[in-house]
Structures are given as structure tokens and as C-alpha cells.
Amino acid sequence: MKTNWGAAFQIAAVYVGTVVGAGFATGREIVEFFSRFGIFGLIGVFMAGYILTYLGAKLMRIAAAIGAQSYEEMNVHLFGKFFGRIINIMMLFMLLGVCAVMLSGAGAVFEEQLGLTKSLGIFITIALSLAVMVVGLKGVFAVNTFVVPMMILFSLILFFLSVRLPGFIEQVVFIPYAEDGWKAVIGPFSYTALNLSLAQAVLVPVAAEMKDDNTVKWGGILGGIALTLILISSHLTLIMLPGFETFEIPMAVVMKQLAAGLYWIFVLIVYGEIFTSVIGNIFGLERQIKKYIKLPSLLVVSLLFLICYFISLIDYGTLLSILYPVFGYISLIFIVLLWMKPVNVNK
């Protein structure tokens, strides 16, 4: 069966756009799971890249093979009916928590980079999101076709500028002291588990629509390779920033120091990535909740934003460092079962 390379690249773009959320774009997620562990973090990045490539492709191949229309169907296939439903309820809360992290990240952009209040940033993001939910989603998801390639380009620019800094090799091989150093071992697994379990909401229906196994497989592989390159370049950039753990949006600080002329464009791209992620999460939550409770969409979305707003008042870095690892550990069983499950493509 021939591979439709155009469609494969489209799937790869969707995969990258889904995983590159607020934590990824700001660099805070990469710091939490990898960069603060030095050379062990770099080893973790390569492991995470392999898992994202192999299991990302497998996730979509299984979805296409069973014709799953939603991540709920995928979880029932992996866990069985009883446990699948429990996992789906847990994912509802995880998506809510991630949406709160995204909102907090938007507030952090306004506070740390624009010198405005965090609350103002959150309110503006909620207002824009509500407006988009009324008008329609197509325009916002189209933003990703611009934001994702720009994000990759800026990551590579920062990487090449960082390589030229004095002491680069010393920083790459440096082993910092970390009280929770054991997390360097589990980090690649909890990180990929978190991202793959949440990415299901988008990847499963996309793969099921495509159907062709070869195309879906190569879309997953290409997307995984692209994510690995961004992870490596971001990690090697962040380790050159003194005190990178103290910043809410470390990638923007690096950009300000190394390429000040591109700084405001980069901040806009980071905010665009956060904004599209907020919309995607809220849209997914609203669709899931409406299966159980029959309420007007605008009311459901408004209630979701109200809950997310109160959670997002916690500092972005604190919120991400608590919620993301916890969600990652919860999701570990997901990638174990995904690894074990055969694809069973019908020839």
C-alpha cells in the first residue's frame, strides 16, 4: 500500500501542534521534566523522543484500525469497558487541570513579559476564547499552521545561538544536584504518558478519518521526529540560561538575551500557542460534558472557564510542576497498555 506523503505531513503537523502546548512553548515543561537534571535530562530527552515517535505512530495506527471516533472509544479498547469509563472520567479532570495551566501560562506571559497583571492576561484570554467559541473554531486551528512552523524555526535559531556561547559543552555534560533526582529516570515516561494520553483527544479522530495504515504510521513517525528535534534544541538552549528554573517563561528570557530583535514576535507566538491550546482543551471538554449533561454550549464553556480561572490563580510554574508530573504518573498505565496492545491492521 502506497503512502500518501502529503497526508502524512498533515498528520505530523497535527501531532506536533497538539503536543506543543503552553508548557512546551514556554520551556517550563522541558525544565521540569528534563533540563534541571543536566546530562541525565538530555538522555531523558532522547528516550522521550523515541517513545513519542514509536507510541505516537502506534496510537494512531490502532485508532485507524479499530475506527475509533474519540479518545473515549480508544480508552475502552485499551482498558476494557469498566476501567475505560473510569479512565475517561479521570481524563476529564486532567483536561480541566491542563486548561487551568494554559490559562495560568497566558497570565504569566502578560505578567513576566509585558509587565501587566496576571489576572488581566487571564481575563483577556477567556474573553477571546469565548468570542471564538461563538464565532467558530476553524480560524483558531488554522493559526497552528503558522504557529507550529514558527515555533520550530525559533527553537532552532535559539539552539544555534546557544551552541556558540562559551562553556556550552561544560553545561551539556554538567550534573546538577537535585533532591528529587530519581525523577530524571521516570521523567521521560511520565512526560510522554501525559502528552500522549492528552493528545488522544485530537489524534484518535484524525487517524480514524485517514484510515490508511502506512500514511498514519509515517505521519506519527515524522511528527515524533519533529518533536524530538524541538525537545533537543530547547533543552540545549535552556541549559545555557543562568537560573533557568526561576523563570515562568524561560524560552522568552533566552530570546530576549540572544535575539532581542525577534523577542516580541516570539512572545506573540508563545501566546498564540497557549491560546490555541486553551481553545482545543475547552472544546474537547465541552463536547465530553454535553454527552452527560444537556446544557447550552456557551453556559458549559463559561462554567468551565470559571473553574479553570480559580485554579489558574496559582503561579504558573508551581501549577505546572505539581499537576503535570501527577498527571504523568496517572497516565503511565496508558502507555504500558498501548505498548502491549497489537495494532491488528486488516489487510
- Closest-CA residue to 310 (of 129, 97, 158): 97
Q: What is the pLDDT of residue 347?
A: 43
- pLDDT at residue 346 tops 70: no
- What is the torsional sign of CA 43, 47, 52, 57? positive
- Of the pLDDT bands very low, low, confident and very high (cuts 50, 70, 90), residue 202 is confident
- pLDDT at residue 164 tops 80: yes
Q: What is the pLDDT of residue 48?
A: 93
- Closest-CA residue to 251 (of 107, 152, 124, 176): 152
3-state helix, strand, coil in the chain (%, to 5): 80, 0, 20
Residues 118-154 as b or e (16 or more Cβ within 10 Å = b): beebbbbbbeebeebbeeeeeebbebbeebbeebbeb
Query: Out of 1.20.1740.10, 3.40.50.1820, 1.10.150.120, 1.10.3210.10, which CATH number does the structure's domain 5-340 have?
Result: 1.20.1740.10
Cα gap 334→298, rounded to integer Å: 32
Q: From the CB of residue 80, how many other CB atoms can be counted at a distance below 10 Å? A: 12
pLDDT tens readout for residues 38-86 = 889 899 999 999 999 999 999 988 888 888 777 788 888 888 888 888 8
Cα gap 109→121, rounded to integer Å: 7
